[in-house]
Amino acid sequence: MEALYVLGLVGVAVVVVWLVLNKSSTLVKVEETIEEIEDKIEEVVDDVKEDVKEAIDSLPSADELKKLTKAKLEELGRELGVELDKRNTKDRMIKDLREGSKK
């Protein structure tokens, strides 16, 4: 009877050790996955920053913008993700375009 009791305790101990070790390896896998996700987010943020910088750098000069119609300014704004109001003056639309493209 004592042998069964000892064997039962050993069995329980083996299960507890297995659970602890398994939990530890799962935790390591989760931490590695979190690091991979953080790295990917950082890459995406860097790509977006680069795209925004390129978009700002590619904006026409103030003189070129003044030559555009309000409709063309509005179209350019939409391409850059900036909503412009054609009811404003051209100068205001240009100012809004430049400010909106820096956000």
Span 30-84, pLDDT tens digits: 778 888 988 999 999 898 888 877 877 777 888 999 999 999 999 999 988 889 9
Residue 64 burial by Cβ neighbours in a 10 Å radius (0-12, 13-18, 19+) = exposed
Q: How far is CA 36 from CA 27, 29, 45, 48, in A?
A: 14, 11, 14, 18
Higher pLDDT, 58 or 92: 92
Q: What is the pLDDT of residue 73?
A: 93
The strand ranges marked E within 3-99 are none
Domain limits, the chain: 22-58, 61-103
SS3 35: helix
Q: Is the pLDDT of residue 2 over 80?
A: no
Q: What is the pLDDT of residue 43?
A: 92
Q: Is the pTM of this model over 0.85?
A: no
Q: What is the pLDDT of residue 74?
A: 94
Mean pLDDT of the region 1-23: 71
What's the CA gap between 67 and 79, in Å, rounded? 18
